[in-house]
Structure 1
Amino acid sequence: MANRRSVMSTSVEPPSSSNNDPLRELFEACKTGDIVRVKKLVNPQTVNARDTAGRKSTPLHFAAGYGRRDVVEFLLATGASIQARDDGGLHPLHNACSFGHADVVRLLLEAGANPNTRDNWNYTPLHEAAIKGKVDVCIALLQHGGDANIRNTEGKTALELSDSAARPVLTGDHRKEELLEAARSGAEDRLVALLNPLNVNCHASDGRRSTPLHLAAGYNRNRVVQLLLQHGADVHAKDKGGLVPLHNACSYGHFEVTEMLIKHGANVNAMDLWQFTPLHEAASKSRVEVCSLLLSEGADPTLLNCHSKSAIDVAPTRELQERLAYEFKGHCLLEASRQADPTKVKKYLTPDVVNFKHPYTGDTPLVRITNLLKNKQVNLGLQIRPLYLSSALAHAAPPTPSTAWATQRSMFSKPFVTSSPLYSAPMRTPLSIGLLGGHYRSRFTAPMGSSLFSH
């Protein structure tokens, strides 16, 4: 450790300048930031020249270590190697980090410098910044993929070696309250400046112990929610009451936020400490559109909370209760049709939902099954007999429960009933019945000259 520290203390010191040595003049110009002299002295042969009298540093090592951003930018544009190592294995990024030049650090990172490169002692740039308490540099490294868990040759992480000033950055507590407030208020620029992988899921120290995503979801900050998700915010994080961000979005009826959270893997049936689901939250407050979205994504309105109440039970109006029950049953039938599961189709198939349409895709059970037949190129008609009933009922106007279920019993009890009044030709498939009933849309038509089903 001592030898390594002594190496770092002199790693950017150039040799004495000499008017008779162009290379030493170049190193001196890089040290002082004399961009005019640098431009005169740099050429393809000197841009990556080594200080043979010192630690074999390059011009970029010197410019980075002394924080000369203009010189660094020029050297990079002229072909300076961002991966060059000195005698100690240090890259220019190590130098910039060790001396706290955050603007140069960002420039090097954006130019492709590896934030987790290691020197001969396995110190990363983050080790350098943390040891020296360079807070802004630590943040920049973390925002560009710096790994705080890498251990040096002595087995120490950046956190274990960190100065007291840098430690909160590595624990996720640095300016945490500002970050939470930025998420709540929708201050995107402030959020981006503070956000890094170690604080994206920080919890408030008081109140409900919300995360930034809880606050952004509850306050309908669409863009902030998007930014947080892009930076790794946890959709499953729980606050003090066990609520996930989806509970917050649904409780306040924020449709777009709800949709984003679900697309990023939020559990639509997550329960808080009182077994309330997001659907309980939405239904109890008559968030009708959010309820429909949740149901379309698999939310179960029959789950009971700690008071033995389902989402249907807590809906304040009979109209909403009936809608929840109807949409749930319809989505169950759609899913059964998609899975080609005869048992489930039979369970959920009733005249009131046989023509149920998905609220966002417009799919019906028949569309789902014809999609399956088309994609599989297999005639599954004789195996999925409940579909005959759905296809027939789809153009029976209107079927009564008694006749419908009488037909179903007949169809389920025999391999195929050609004498049924619903079928006049032998060996009809659900698809042909649906076609005759006018329930097959042109967008699913097979290409000319091709067969929808294989033999």
Structure 2
Amino acid sequence: MMATILLRSQPLQNCFSIYRGLPCNSLMADSCSDRTPLHDAAYQGRLLNLMELIAQGFQVNTLTMDGVSPLHEACLGGHHACAKFLLENGANAQAVSTDGATPLFNSCSSGSAACVRLLLQHGASIHTTPQLASPLHQAAKKGHRECMELLLSCGAQIDVELPNVGTPLYAACRAPSAQCVELLLHSGADVGPGCGQDSPLHAAVRAGEANIVELLLEFGAEKACRNSEGKTPLDLSAPNSAVRAALQRKGPCSLTQLCRFSIRRSLGRLRLHRTSNLLLPQSVINFLLYR
């Protein structure tokens, strides 16, 4: 009986040795392990503790059973100093957890623009293979405009539609985040695609955000579009609501508005920033850029 207890307790002793501050088992350094003090220190932003643990021999890229690294945790906590220290000590900026999250995704989740900027400087990819964990979609979903600005400035795909998530614009409308919706629209996002047949306008109406509805309509959203249930945005709006009033107030697009849509589409999102260089009156340039 005693022998059995000793045999069963041996693996536990190996695990507990980690928490006593001893160096990690070199055989486990590159494989999945349970959550370590390094993960906790990174998530809680305890930089000095992190330095001590690394000095004691903890491996900077040690993963949990779910593939979560200490850098994942530092970014999820929004701790720039900890993330910087981990990266300087060899942390993998491209680490992907089992659910497809990267440190960049976690930074967008926490809203830490400083961590986003840091990871981009260390070569983090804005396009992840597991498409259910897109940094841009997460920033839009959480309403973190500054993170989105950084990603878009690095060429993030603005109209990518993910299964069950939709486009970044759709995610921002669902949030709802008027600031993120405005940024995406001014950056050239297509106002039509959402999630399947559900449009961003449908999402904004469900969220009850009249200001977002007005923004979408101003950028050419189609009021008559129907979702998979055959319903238009007006069908989804509550009676006597500000959202319904906004939908009913907006009439057909004027000729000048249609011209604006056409010119912006011809320029394309990647060339919108060059509109100011066109040989046009400043008033026309301001009109094209919604200034």
> TM-score, structure 2 length as denominator?
0.55
Change (3 A) 1:397 1:354: farther
Q: Which residue of 1 aligns with 2:61?
A: 201
Output the amino acid matched with 2:72: H
Q: Which residue of 1 aligns with 2:73?
A: 215
Q: Is the 8 A contact 1:214 1:245 kept in 2?
A: yes
Q: CA RMSD in A?
A: 3.8
Matched, 1:192 2:51: yes
Q: Is the 8 A contact 2:108 2:135 kept in 1?
A: yes
Q: Any residues of structure 2 matched to 1:288-307 within 5 Å, and which?
A: 288-307=145-164
Distance between the aligned counterparts of 1:318 and 1:223, measured in 2? 28
Q: Is the 8 A contact 2:264 2:272 kept in 1?
A: no
Q: Where is the helix percentage greater, Structure 1 or Structure 2?
A: 2
Matched, 1:325 2:243: no
Change (3 A) 1:225 1:397: same
Runs of 4+ in 1 over 4 A off after TM superposition: 173-176, 345-348, 352-355, 399-402
Output the amino acid matched with 1:295: L
Which of 278, 283, 287 matches 1:397? 283
Q: Is the 8 A contact 2:140 2:172 kept in 1?
A: yes
Matched, 1:181 2:35: no
Q: Is the 8 A contact 1:211 1:237 kept in 2?
A: yes
Q: Is the 8 A contact 1:203 1:211 kept in 2?
A: yes
Change (3 A) 1:219 1:170: same
Change (3 A) 1:175 1:291: closer
Q: Which residue of 2 aligns with 1:446?
A: none
Offset of 1:259 from its aligned partner? 0.8
Offset of 1:398 from its aligned partner? 2.3
Offset of 1:177 from its aligned partner? 0.8
Distance between the aligned counterparts of 1:305 and 1:218, measured in 2? 22
Offset of 1:365 from its aligned partner? 6.4
Matched, 1:349 2:267: yes
What per-residue deviation string (whole Å, max 9, x for no partner) do you get for residues 66-99 of structure 1? xxxxxxxxxxxxxxxxxxxxxxxxxxxxxxxxxx
Offset of 1:243 from its aligned partner? 0.6
Offset of 1:328 from its aligned partner? 4.5
Q: Which residue of 2 aligns with 1:247?
A: 105
Q: Which residue of 2 aligns with 1:224?
A: 82
Output the amino acid matched with 1:325: L
Q: Which residue of 2 aligns with 1:314?
A: 171
Offset of 1:323 from its aligned partner? 2.4
Change (3 A) 1:326 1:195: same
Offset of 1:313 from its aligned partner? 1.3
Q: Which residue of 2 aligns with 1:237?
A: 95
Change (3 A) 1:192 1:198: closer
Distance between the aligned counterparts of 2:285 and 2:275, measured in 1? 17
Q: Is the 8 A contact 1:301 1:325 kept in 2?
A: no
Distance between the aligned counterparts of 1:284 and 1:166, measured in 2? 40
Matched, 1:257 2:115: yes
Q: Which residue of 1 aligns with 2:243?
A: none
Offset of 1:169 from its aligned partner? 3.5
Q: Which residue of 2 aligns with 1:172?
A: 29
Which of 144, 164, 172 matches 1:287? 144
- Which structure has the bigger radius of gyration? 1
Change (3 A) 1:167 1:216: closer
Which secondary structure state, in structure 1, belongs to the residue aligned with residue 284 of structure 2?
coil
Between 171-180 and 296-305, the greater mean CA deviation after superposition: 171-180
Identical residues among aligned pairs (%): 25
Offset of 1:310 from its aligned partner? 0.9
Distance between the aligned counterparts of 2:151 and 2:107, measured in 1? 11
Distance between the aligned counterparts of 1:318 and 1:182, measured in 2? 32
Distance between the aligned counterparts of 1:289 and 1:183, measured in 2? 23
Change (3 A) 1:285 1:192: same
Which secondary structure state, in structure 2, belongs to the residue aligned with residue 293 of structure 1?
helix
Q: Which runs of 5+ in 2 are unaligned?
A: 1-16, 190-262
Output the amino acid matched with 2:181: Q
Which secondary structure state, in structure 2, belongs to the residue aligned with residue 238 of structure 1?
coil
Q: Which residue of 2 aligns with 1:81?
A: none
Q: Any residues of structure 2 matched to 1:103-122 within 5 Å, and which?
A: none
Output the amino acid matched with 1:307: N
Which secondary structure state, in structure 1, belongs to the residue aligned with residue 279 of structure 2?
helix
Matched, 1:278 2:165: no
